[in-house]
Structure 1
């Protein structure tokens, strides 16, 4: 699956996107796998209240299943104005 990173998430990880294979069943499981990779991922996913996720371009929850998902995007909450 393709994993996309936006805004400060991209800055902390140092990549705009990457292709990953995962055994995770949910977004939360994927985050745990990413956190365990390197300190830069741990820093990016330290505070989940400051993150949002979209699966195949639809806003989703961290407990959402990954089965059949082709794209996961992580980004900070958006504000109006």
Structure 2
């Protein structure tokens, strides 16, 4: 299990471009010769994309909640909508 966690950390460091120097060179060499490692890197990229998407979706929901709360105030709603008329 520890080996898997270490590998996940190493892949994350590679994807986040924080892996430097000799460790980066070694990882790239392993990547060039290992189809299994390439598959794991692709999977981890997909995980990063899902996390990014979910984070954006959460921000959209938070912004919508703020918008809805602000628009409940009739005077604020009127002053904002009058700007765009």
TM-score (norm 1): 0.27
Structure showing greater radius of gyration is 2
Higher relative contact order (CA 8 A, sep 6+): 1
Answer 1 or 2: which has greater helix percent: 2
